[in-house]
Amino acid sequence: MRGPHNIWRLIRTGATFERTGAMKVALDAADAPARLRVAARILGWPFAWLGYKGDPALPPVTRAITALGPAYVKFGQILSTRPDVVGVELADQLSMLQDRLPPFSQDQARRTLRAELGQPVEALFDAFSEPVAAASIAQVHRARRADNGREVAVKVLRPGIESAFRRDIDAFHFAAGMIERLSPATRRLRPRDVVAHFESVVTGELDLRLEAASASEFAENTRGDEGMKVPRPHWHLSARRVLTTDWAEGTPLGDIAALRAAGHDLPKLGERVLQLFLCHALRDGYFHADMHQGNLKVARDGDIVIYDFGIMGEIDEYTRRVYAEILMGFIRRDYDRVARVHFEAGYVPPDRDIKEFSRALRAVGEPIFGADASQISMANLLAYLFEVTERFGMATRTELILLQRTMVVVEGVARSLDPQINMWQVARPVVESYIRDNLGPRAATRDLARAAQVLGRFAPLLPEFLERRMPELLREPAAPPPPPRRGRGLAVGMALGAVAALAGTALGAFLG
């Protein structure tokens, strides 16, 4: 119920950050101005005693986030991939949110397995370990199947996770509504729609049968891709609250020292992570939307193992083509082309000046091309991107939030492996390949053939349709065509989403 009682939840959120000392750490990481620090102190200090205590053994921000609940943990996971935005120290503290949260008991996991699969653990598995990883939604046990001896990973949802998420999402809805009412300028960012989108994503993540289906589809799409592996689901050992897959053997991608000791080429791994994501997003339109280090390993042969398919993203073919053109425009530094594509697709309101928009994009892109990766200030870039979206009246496209957020996360993962990675250079071959296959003469021929097939399927219905509708159409006065409605803006979307991926903005994390 999205009522005023959520004010209490929001007050406890601020109070928890104040009580655990996370408020100061967060403000320092954001380099907040003095006025904001004073306001936060005045508003937070009197209510500090109302905050959750959390685990004193954890660092302040991690302590506050884990005490507040799973929805807050999701935001922390995203920020943990961006040391260039929140600082190296804070990113290291937040990295434990990826797969090192406190586990629940093995007895509880066994009870869940029996309830979901209808048999005791001993009848299904010869071995069933203590939790090997624990995240915000579930924890994972290593097991060995009793029927064939195969090593598997058994994922079990946390007890009460559904109600905990509903409580957090309820408060987020309330806060978003208050923000829109108190600050009309924020409505173009559509905070309520953003929260609704986040809610739909989380709801899907709480049904592990859907995750099994996503893993199966993703494995089929990528079966020809070199340099990666996908654990397959074991359907008869999976249910709504339990998922069993192949065991993913390898070194965690976040363990840089272990990867280096094993002799892996870290810059090559960074390139592959980014190129795999772009390939899946552009070629398939179906991509892993939670590609932080906790969901990636490196196998002994150097292949990247991708797992945990609770959050997947999907974009239609039209959007992929427009996005590829925008990416290519940035790669070639053709800002007039990028601006033109935005206006042609209706992503920027038509009453804005296209040349001015082109210059704004140049101001974003050029400093990145001329600077070493370590010299780029992501905080300053983020601030400027917000100015651009406001100046040109660009509205948030909620269907692209997952794409934008994932680009931010993947770019952060790539930079953790190679801080000097050239994002434009790495992306270029993938984007050029997509454009060659989908925007050239062969693609036009393929589109015409597809249109002819559709027309052929409906051709038998056309005579009846015309006989029934033509008299009505002849009697009715012609109505003026409606104004184009496809995407009033991209908000931190196409051009800015491209920059988010290739330049490292954390805007997607802010929206995700």
Tell me the angle at which helices 423-438 and 266-279 cross, rounded to the nearest 10 degrees: 30
Q: What is the pLDDT of residue 146?
A: 94
Asked if residues 232 and 217 have their Cβ atoms less than 8 Å apart, the reply is: no
- In this prediction, residues 53-60 reach a mean pLDDT of 86
Q: Is 218 left (phi over 0), alpha (psi -120 to 50) or beta?
A: alpha
Has residue 187 been placed in a domain? Answer: no
The pLDDT tens digits for 5-30 are 677 777 888 888 888 888 888 777 66
Strand ranges inside 33-136, DSSP E: 125-134
Percent of the chain whose pLDDT exceeds 90? 28
Q: What is the pLDDT of residue 412?
A: 83
Whether 346 shows a pLDDT value over 60: the answer reads yes
- Dihedral angle sign, alpha carbons of residues 34, 79, 501, 252: positive
d(CA 228, CA 223): 9
- In this prediction, residues 467-480 reach a mean pLDDT of 63
**CATH code for position 294:** 1.10.510.10
**Of 95, 93, 96, whose CA–CA distance to 25 is shortest?**
93
Q: What is the pLDDT of residue 45?
A: 74
Task: Give the residue from 258, 283, 313 where a domain finishes.
Answer: 313
The pLDDT tens digits for 142-178 are 999 999 999 999 999 999 888 888 888 887 788 778 7
Highest mean pLDDT among 63-67, 279-283, 344-348: 279-283
- In this prediction, residues 338-364 reach a mean pLDDT of 86
| Alpha helix ranges (H) inside 206-255 | 208-221
Distance of CA 111 to the CA centre of its chain: 32
Q: Is residue 414 domain-shared with residue 338, that is, in the same domain?
A: yes
Whether 483 shows a pLDDT value over 80: the answer reads no
Task: Give the residue from 290, 313, 336 where a domain finishes.
Answer: 313
Q: Is residue 291 domain-shared with residue 416, that is, in the same domain?
A: no
Has residue 166 been placed in a domain? Answer: no
Q: What is the pLDDT of residue 491?
A: 33
Query: Residue 502 CB: number of other CB atoms within 10 A?
Result: 25
Has residue 368 been placed in a domain? Answer: yes
Q: Is residue 319 domain-shared with residue 415, that is, in the same domain?
A: yes
Whether 500 shows a pLDDT value over 50: the answer reads no
* Alpha-carbon distances, residue 312 vs 76, 140, 200, 400 (angstroms): 19, 19, 12, 12
Q: How many helices (H) and strands (E) does the chain have?
A: 24, 10
Q: What is the pLDDT of residue 447?
A: 62
**Of 202, 227, 194, whose CA–CA distance to 289 is shortest?**
202
Q: Is residue 216 domain-shared with residue 282, that is, in the same domain?
A: yes
Q: What is the pLDDT of residue 384?
A: 61
d(CA 345, CA 222): 30
The pLDDT tens digits for 106-133 are 999 999 999 999 999 999 999 999 999 8
Strand ranges inside 60-218, DSSP E: 125-134, 138-145, 151-157
Q: What is the pLDDT of residue 443?
A: 62
What domain range is 349 assigned to? 315-436+488-511
Interior angle at CA 291, CA 299 and CA 186, nearest 5: 170
DSSP 126: E
Residue partners of 64: CB distance under 8 A and separation at least 6: 16, 17, 19, 20, 22, 51, 52, 54
The position carrying tokens 């209706």 is: 346
Identify which has the larger pLDDT, 33 or 488: 33
What phi and psi values does residue 439 have, to the nearest 5 degrees? -125, 5
In DSSP notation, 306-342 reads E---SSEEE--HHHHHHHHHHHHHHHTT-HHHHHHHH
Whether 220 shows a pLDDT value over 70: the answer reads yes
**Per-chain mean pLDDT for the chain:** 79
Whether 228 shows a pLDDT value over 90: the answer reads yes
Q: Which two tokens stand for residue 7?
A: 């004010």
| Catalytic choice (84, 168, 170, 290) | 290
Whether 476 shows a pLDDT value over 60: the answer reads no
The position carrying tokens 């003026």 is: 480
Whether 499 shows a pLDDT value over 60: the answer reads no
Q: Is residue 292 domain-shared with residue 155, that is, in the same domain?
A: yes
d(CA 191, CA 172): 9
The residue type at 47: F
Whether 415 shows a pLDDT value over 70: the answer reads yes
d(CA 310, CA 290): 8
Q: Is residue 249 domain-shared with residue 374, that is, in the same domain?
A: no
* Helix, coil or strand: residue 106: helix
Q: What is the domain count for the chain? A: 3
Has residue 189 been placed in a domain? Answer: no
Q: Is residue 394 domain-shared with residue 359, that is, in the same domain?
A: yes
Q: Which residues, in sequence order, are bridge partners of residue 100? A: 134
Whether 493 shows a pLDDT value over 70: the answer reads no
Q: Is residue 43 domain-shared with residue 68, that is, in the same domain?
A: yes
Q: What is the pLDDT of residue 56?
A: 87
Pick the range with the lowest mean pLDDT from 154-163, 289-298, 462-471.
462-471
Q: What is the pLDDT of residue 237?
A: 96
Q: Do the bridges between strand 151-157 and strand 242-246 make them parallel or antiparallel, or are there none, so unpaired?
A: antiparallel
d(CA 413, CA 298): 13
Task: Give the residue from 42, 69, 97 where a domain finishes.
Answer: 97
Has residue 191 been placed in a domain? Answer: no
Q: Is 154 left (phi over 0), alpha (psi -120 to 50) or beta?
A: beta
Has residue 272 been placed in a domain? Answer: yes
Identify which has the larger pLDDT, 400 or 509: 400
The pLDDT tens digits for 315-332 are 888 888 887 887 788 878
Q: Is residue 369 domain-shared with residue 297, that is, in the same domain?
A: no
d(CA 92, CA 269): 20
Q: What is the pLDDT of residue 54?
A: 85
Q: What is the pLDDT of residue 215?
A: 94
d(CA 498, CA 504): 9
Has residue 471 been placed in a domain? Answer: no
Whether 494 shows a pLDDT value over 50: the answer reads no
Residue partners of 509: CB distance under 8 A and separation at least 6: 75, 78, 79, 82, 85, 405, 408, 409
Q: What is the pLDDT of residue 139?
A: 92
Pick the range with the lowest mean pLDDT from 12-26, 46-60, 257-271, 441-455.
441-455
Query: Residue 240 CB: number of other CB atoms within 10 A?
Result: 12
Has residue 499 been placed in a domain? Answer: yes
Q: Is residue 80 domain-shared with residue 113, that is, in the same domain?
A: no
Pick the range with the lowest mean pLDDT from 212-216, 248-252, 366-370, 488-492.
488-492
d(CA 271, CA 162): 37
* pLDDT band per the 50, 70, 90 thresholds, residue 484: very low
Give the DSSP H/E element, type plus range, for residue 379.
Answer: helix 378-391
Q: Is residue 245 domain-shared with residue 122, that is, in the same domain?
A: yes
**Of 270, 314, 278, 315, whose CA–CA distance to 296 is shortest?**
270
* pLDDT band per the 50, 70, 90 thresholds, residue 475: low
DSSP 58: S
The pLDDT tens digits for 91-102 are 777 777 766 678
Q: Please give the radius of gyration of the chain, using alpha carbons only, rounded to the nearest integer.
A: 25
The pLDDT tens digits for 390-411 are 678 776 565 566 777 788 788 8
Q: What is the pLDDT of residue 460?
A: 78
290 flagged as catalytic? yes
Q: Is residue 248 domain-shared with residue 385, that is, in the same domain?
A: no
39-45 long-range Cβ contacts below 8 angstroms, 24+ apart? 43/14, 44/14, 44/15, 44/17, 44/18, 45/18
Return the biggest CA–CA distance within the chain.
Answer: 79
What phi and psi values does residue 349 have, to the nearest 5 degrees? -55, 135
